Amino acid sequence: MLWQAMTAARDLGRLHEIASILIRHGFGDVVRRLGFAHALERAGRALHWSEGTELAQLEPQASVRRAMEEMGPTFVKLGQILATRVDLFDPEWIAEFSKLQDSTPASPYSAVHQQLTEDLGAPPEEIFAAFEPEPFAAGSIAQVHLARLEDGTEVVVKVRRPGIRVGVEADLRWLSRLAELIETSNSELRHFHWQEVVAQFTQSLRRELDFGAECRHAERVASNFAGYSDEASPVLPLAHPPVGEDESSSLLPLIVIPKVYWQWTGERVCVQEYIRGIPGRDVAAVDRTGLDRKILARRGVGAVIKMILVDGLFHADPHPGNLFYLPGNRIAFIDFGMIGLLGEARRGELIHLLLGLVQYDSAAVADVLLDWTGEGDVNEEALKTEIQLFVDQYLGVPLKQLKLGSMLADLVAILRGHRLHLPPDLALFFKAFITLEGTGRELDPELDIAGEALPLLRDAMAIRYAPAAMAKRGWRTAIELAGLLSNLPRDLSRLLRSARRGKVDIHIEVAHLKHVGDQLDGAVNRLVVGIVVAAVIVGSSVVMAVSTGPTLWGLPFFSLLGFACATIGAIWLLSAISRANKADRERKPRGD
């Protein structure tokens, strides 16, 4: 039961707040079915069930989104992670989750000033030549102030909201318990893999709370783009600088990542170069300043594909709000709080998948998707047939008319229809790629993203299967095999020794039986109490017939004491049975 999981009383106040918000937004039935009401009643906290009559009239997706916004930064960030799980949720849910904004009022400057003084080692007005107390941007986790160094360099000072980690950790604790409860007690919701989603979310949010980690990722991306040019990119083989670029601009980096000032950067604060450019959302300003929208779109696509397929470390949210356009048709990426990581093997699978899509190879696409879905309950023939039909509908369609992001979204919809899900590390890739196509087409409606990606995919495939790369992988495999073979005699010896001693154990764990086990434990405990109560009643009746010993009101004292104890035990037993029955009714889905 949820009450048994709530070992820390400090979490109950937050649980009461969340349950009240859910009721206001029309999710009172969810509160009952998940056991929130029972847990809070046992803690002596009352819920107001009459709230939420107007808010409940909204569509479920909008109600969930508004409830998440009201529940605070943890749930805003959770919604943003859910927006990446296109394999789990229908498009209307993804669209609603994508609307979640983490714009909130700024924290009091007195608290921010005190925290900055602790982290910087001195008040900010002593560290910087100028510091703006009024933030120019504020989100659910941090707020950003403008400052100027002694040499005149403009910087941004990103400050984590004071005291936010305590509330976030409380939310993460009970979210983890809630995910476990949902998966073990509700078969309808189990296929959403809530524990996996919460684990991914916990890792992402804790990483986002650490500004030092964010800056390290930014520096890794910057180093990956050192020396990057149009000529170095298979996607953009430009023989001459595009119109609007002079010799000086061609010497500047095409992809700009803000410089980090590490002497003032840590877990709760980071200081980075201030990028002055055209915000990604202001496409009209791009035209006014004479920048080439087609070149910007192609360079952005090339940069993100390079991050994903070549580097394995990519900006997971390349929407226009995280982009700036600079003179010389250059692009700056900011805010590396949400990043994706892909290993070498996963990048190889992605190359095969994307090549299969642009070359209409349904067998390659099906093989990759089946590898990703693991050993779940899947009708392979039905899945392969559906993928074949999906790919065949694009046969003969020119590359420039293919919308690769839309194709990926449709593929994920096929997986969702078979109740299959993607590995967690791929969720951010799909989100980033679909966002990338939307951003690119805002700049250039005729963007041929498939045509731009094809040369890089072929080059990446050639590099992957080059003799040197294959030799490196083969050598690594040989070392692993040698280690396995060298340990084999010892492992077999241990296994046989354990078998002779009868100490070979096979452990089988069925997660959804945990709830059944808890119910059996409770039933056995109540049975034992019932037996003890019956025994006390029988013993007290026997003592009643004994005339010796102390008396009370003319009756044997010990007999009366036994009957009193039996009455208390019987009352407790009836109460426990009533609570168990009530909890079962709340947990049972409506209509069962």
103-112, 508-517, 560-569: lowest mean pLDDT where? Answer: 508-517
Answer yes or no: is 278 within a domain: no
Answer yes or no: is 312 within a domain: yes
Answer yes or no: is 157 within a domain: no
- Measured CA to CA, the distance from residue 416 to residue 426 in angstroms comes to 14
Rounded to an integer, the average pLDDT of 457-462 is 76
- pLDDT of amino acid 232: 47
- Angle subtended at Cα 80 by Cα 77 and Cα 82, rounded to the nearest 5 degrees: 110
The answer to whether 439 and 299 are in contact (CB under 8 A) is no
Judgement on whether residues 371 and 424 belong to the same structural domain of the protein: yes
Judgement on whether residues 395 and 491 belong to the same structural domain of the protein: no
Cβ neighbours of residue 477 under 8 Å, at least 6 residues apart? none
Place 438 in a pLDDT band, splitting at 50, 70 and 90.
Answer: confident
* Model pLDDT for residues 172-205, shown as the tens digit of each residue: 887 887 787 777 766 666 666 778 888 888 888 8
Place 244 in a pLDDT band, splitting at 50, 70 and 90.
Answer: very low
Place 219 in a pLDDT band, splitting at 50, 70 and 90.
Answer: very high
pTM check: above 0.85 = no
Judgement on whether residues 190 and 309 belong to the same structural domain of the protein: no
The dihedral region occupied by 45, where left means phi > 0, alpha psi between -120 and 50, and beta the remainder, is beta
Q: Is the pLDDT of residue 236 over 50?
A: no
* Model pLDDT for residues 94-127, shown as the tens digit of each residue: 888 888 866 678 889 999 999 999 999 999 999 9
Judgement on whether residues 443 and 561 belong to the same structural domain of the protein: no
User: Looking at the annotation, which residues are catalytic?
Assistant: 317
Judgement on whether residues 414 and 520 belong to the same structural domain of the protein: no
* Model pLDDT for residues 260-317, shown as the tens digit of each residue: 999 999 999 999 999 999 999 899 999 999 999 999 998 998 898 889 888 899 998 8
- pLDDT of amino acid 190: 66
* Model pLDDT for residues 350-374, shown as the tens digit of each residue: 888 888 888 888 888 888 888 887 6
Q: What is the mean pLDDT of the chain?
A: 78
Place 323 in a pLDDT band, splitting at 50, 70 and 90.
Answer: very high
Judgement on whether residues 377 and 404 belong to the same structural domain of the protein: yes
Answer yes or no: is 181 within a domain: no
Cβ neighbours of residue 1 under 8 Å, at least 6 residues apart? 35, 38, 39, 518, 583
Judgement on whether residues 312 and 411 belong to the same structural domain of the protein: yes
Answer yes or no: is 199 within a domain: no
Judgement on whether residues 439 and 524 belong to the same structural domain of the protein: no
Q: For residue 156, give the H/E element and its range.
A: strand 154-160
Answer yes or no: is 139 within a domain: no
User: How many domains are contained in the chain?
Assistant: 4
Answer yes or no: is 170 within a domain: no
Supply φ then ψ for residue 271, to 5 degrees.
-120, 120
Residues in the chain: 592
> Which residue segment(s) compose the domain that 57 sits in?
2-101+186-194
Answer yes or no: is 321 within a domain: yes
